[in-house]
Each structure stands twice: as structure tokens, then as C-alpha cells.
Amino acid sequence: MASDLAERSRRAVWHPCTQMKGHEAHPPRAIVRGEGPWLIDDQGHRILDAVSSWWVNLFGHGFAPIVDAITDQLKQLDHTMLAGLTHAPVVELSERLGALTGLGHAFYASDGASATEIALKMSAHSWRNRGLPGKHRFIGLQGGYHGETAGALSVTDIPLFREAYAPLLRLSATLPSPDLRHAAAGVSADEHTAACMKALADYLAEHHASVAALILEPLVQGAAGMGMYSPAYLSAARALCDQHQVHLICDEIAVGFGRTGTMFAHQQALDAEGRAIRPDFICLSKGLTGGVLPLSAVLTTDEVYAAFWDDLTAHGFLHSHSYTGNPLACRAALAVLDTFANEDVLARNRVMAASLSALAEPITRHPRVTAHRHIGMIWAWDIDTNDATFAARFHQLALDAGVLLRPIGNSLYFMPPYVLAETDMRHLVDCTLRTLDQVLAQTPAAASSAATAERLA
């Protein structure tokens, strides 16, 4: 039974990455309130937000420090353009992100895909300004995801998107992914990682003169189904990019802000001296505002910044968005950074993660689970089924059970906000196990599955 709101939404709202026909059978839930990790729909059902509302929410819904910061800012300055003007929230945020990453120049947009666009354009334009205009091609990884605008899609390797939009794009080179699930039978994790490093080394040796940048998601390829890989690959990628005068763009949009156990995922990769590697660009969004307001940032180095420093306007970086550096969003981001500084979020997450890992043991041991992986506040399991509707059906039944989970293909994952109580974790695991058995027990009717099969979940 669709609520009135859900019914009106179905007619007037075109939902993201959704085959709208699927809403005939499964209208969207109308959410009216958020409380911590919980969403409450207009029928009063409580749904545990175990995917952090598409990986954005860090501290639950209605987190007081963020609410207070935005409210305070709203009374002073709601918005001002950022060309020719500036304001304290954007200055302070840029300084603090610079101090956290060692990349002292911040450029802003409102979403992750735009951050990807900015990093790609900035990289190629900086080579051009440095007298190397031939370096304007990009490298992405197999299964990589960097957003869905035309430029971001050109470095994104999700087959469904590639098929539909390839003719619109100037596709990047796609190199083998270090995702350990791709290791062939009999090939060890180290051997697989080494083979992927070699593929990158070979490609760069041959093509470096035309390559501006390598873009990748450090440690976890989210949209590929939470594929995880060794930091050794990142270390090698950094060294190879240096060797061949190619930028390394770390897309931390999903994994930044503590998701993998460190503030930023790339910080787990060390260089030859044992120091954390430093990318040439870092893309941030999603958790940047705690999942409350749209904001993204691209951080870069003095070297890249210097390449644009000139009297000529044409040598400046030519890019702008209307809401660049919105003060409300910057204040939300500052409240997030304050929370990391004032509470030991990373240590608290380690304790939470240990509890959830222990409680989730029965999922890992489930007879239909073929692969299990975990890092920081991300857990993933691959399910043995050839039912193309698995993800969509799991999503629906999990909602009925009271938990928001959206498997990607056969990969079921948790990516919860950092505020789960013990009872929340038990609810999550119980609902997951129940839903898993329910979904796997049903034989999908081949005829009715066509519409939902197309739907991403």
C-alpha cells in the first residue's frame, strides 16, 4: 500500500538510477523524520539506515553539532558567490583540510561528480600550462566509479553505464583492478596485486607522454560492490606516477572521513620512507558535511597551484559552480571536523566495528556466502546466487524488515553511520539474516523479474 506521498512522488519525481516502472510494484517509502541511524516513514515504520543514505551520513540524522552550526550560520550569512568575495567558513575549512592532508589549495563544488570533473580538468590544464599540452588523457581502474556526469563517466567503469553512454564519452584507459576478488584461481593476493602493479607500470612506460592523471578510489571500490585491495598497490601507483610525471587523483568521496579506519584511506599506503603517500589531488564529498548538505572539494598541491599562477586569465583555472563554497555547507563540514577533533571518532569506531564484526559472524558463516571482506566501517559479503533480481528483492524485503540495505549485484554490504548502539547492531544483523534466508528461499518467477532486473540496487 503506497502512502499518498509515495504515490504523488511516483508520478512527479523522477528518482535517481531507478527504472521508474519498478515503482508500480514497489512505490518509494516516504521518509518524514530522521533520528540518529534511524529513518521514520509516514506510516510510522522505523528503518535502520545501514548504508548511511548512500554513503553520506557519518553521525546519524539530526546530529546536534551540525544542526547548531548550520542554524548559527543561517542567522549570519546564508550564501554569497565566491568569485571576488570570500567568507570565514570557506577560509577556515580550506585551512583545516590543508592541515589534515598536506594539500593546501581547496577548490569547491556541490557534488562528487563535479569534484571528479574539477580534478580531471585541473590536472590536464596544469600540464598544458607547464608546456606539456599532450598530457590530457586519463587512466581509471576496472570497476572504478567516479560519478555520472559525462566527464566523470569517462573514467567510470560500470558496464551498465558504459553501455548506455559510451558514445557520449571520451573513454579513459581502463587498467586491471587490484580488487582481490579478481585474483584468478591459484593466484595469491600478493601475486594479483603485483600483476596489477605491473600492468600499470607497463601502461605508463608506453603512454606517459599522453597521460595527465591516474584516478582511483583508494582501498575500496565502492560501486564495484565494495571491492577491497592492498595499500601496496596505492604505494606502487604513487611511485609509478612520480616516475612518469603523471598525477595521482585519490577519489576519497566515499572512503574519506574515517570510513576505512584512518581519516583518509590513502593514508594507509606508505612510501619508501614509511610515510603516508601524498596524492596530487584528493576529491572529497559525501561525508564532508556529515551527509547533511551538498558540498565537494578538490584539494591539490603547491605545484599544481603554481602551474596556474600567471597574468593571463586563460592560464587560470576555468571552472565555477553557482553554489561554490556555500557558507552553510562549509559550517556543516567544520562541525564534522570539530567532531573528529573533539571526540576520538576513529578509536570509537574501532570498538564499534569489533562488536559488529563479532555479531555479524553468522552472516559470514552463512552457507550461501562465498566471500567476506571488512575494513573500518565497511562490511561486505558476496552471495552465491544467479538470480539477477537478488539485489532489488533483498532491498525491498529488508525495508519491510526495518533496515535500509541496497546490495550491489550479488554483494551485500553494511556502510552504517558511526553511531550504532548494540541494539541497533543486533537489529541490523537479525534483519539481514532473516532477509537473506527469505530472498534465497524464493525462486524468482522468470517472467516478472524483467522490470526489476534492470533496476540498480
Ligand X SMILES: *Cc1c(COP(=O)(O)O)cnc(C)c1O
Residues that bind ligand X (CB under 6 A): 111-113, 116, 145-147, 217, 222, 251, 253-254, 285-286
Comparison of 47 and 253: residue with beta carbon closer to ligand X: 253
Task: Give the shortest CB-111-to-ligand X separation in angstroms.
Answer: 4
What's at 388, amino acid-wise? A
CA 1 to chain centre: 33
How many helices and strands, by DSSP H and E, does the chain display? 17, 16
Parallel, antiparallel, or unpaired: how do β-strands 211-216 and 137-141 relate? parallel
The C-alpha cell that represents 444 in the structure block: 524468482
Task: Give the shortest CB-15-to-ligand X separation in angstroms.
Answer: 14
Comparison of 283 and 328: residue with beta carbon closer to ligand X: 283
Task: Give the shortest CB-156-to-ligand X separation in angstroms.
Answer: 8
The answer to whether residues 424 and 448 touch, using CB atoms and an 8 Å cutoff, is: no
Q: Which residue is nearest to ligand X (CB)?
A: 112
Comparison of 406 and 427: residue with beta carbon closer to ligand X: 406
Task: Give the shortest CB-323-to-ligand X separation in angstroms.
Answer: 13
The C-alpha cell that represents 285 in the structure block: 564529498
Comparison of 285 and 339: residue with beta carbon closer to ligand X: 285
d(C-alpha 195, C-alpha 203), whole Å? 12
Task: Region of 22 please: left (phi>0), alpha (psi -120 to 50) or beta.
Answer: alpha
With vertex at residue 45, the alpha carbon angle to CA 39 and CA 46, rounded to the nearest 5 degrees, is 40
Q: Among residues 271, 294, 296, 283, which one has the least CA distance to residue 222?
A: 283
The answer to whether residues 438 and 432 touch, using CB atoms and an 8 Å cutoff, is: no
Comparison of 308 and 413: residue with beta carbon closer to ligand X: 413
Report helix, strand or coil for 147: coil
Task: Give the shortest CB-114-to-ligand X separation in angstroms.
Answer: 7
Parallel, antiparallel, or unpaired: how do β-strands 211-216 and 247-251 relate? parallel
Write the DSSP assignment of 95-122 as a string of letters. HHHHHHHS--EEEEESSHHHHHHHHHHH
The C-alpha cell that represents 125 in the structure block: 590544464
For the chain, the distance separating the N- and C-terminal CA atoms, rounded to the nearest angstrom, is 21
Comparison of 11 and 14: residue with beta carbon closer to ligand X: 14
d(C-alpha 339, C-alpha 317), whole Å? 33
Task: Give the shortest CB-453-to-ligand X separation in angstroms.
Answer: 23
CA 426 to chain centre: 26
DSSP state of 456: -
The C-alpha cell that represents 72 in the structure block: 548559527
Task: Give the shortest CB-202-to-ligand X separation in angstroms.
Answer: 26
Comparison of 89 and 227: residue with beta carbon closer to ligand X: 227
Task: Give the shortest CB-222-to-ligand X separation in angstroms.
Answer: 5
Comparison of 59 and 145: residue with beta carbon closer to ligand X: 145
With vertex at residue 311, the alpha carbon angle to CA 308 and CA 315, rounded to the nearest 5 degrees, is 35
Strand boundaries in 195-235, DSSP class E? 211-216, 220-221, 227-228
Comparison of 197 and 415: residue with beta carbon closer to ligand X: 415
Task: Give the shortest CB-436-to-ligand X separation in angstroms.
Answer: 25
Comparison of 226 and 334: residue with beta carbon closer to ligand X: 226
Task: Give the shortest CB-203-to-ligand X separation in angstroms.
Answer: 22
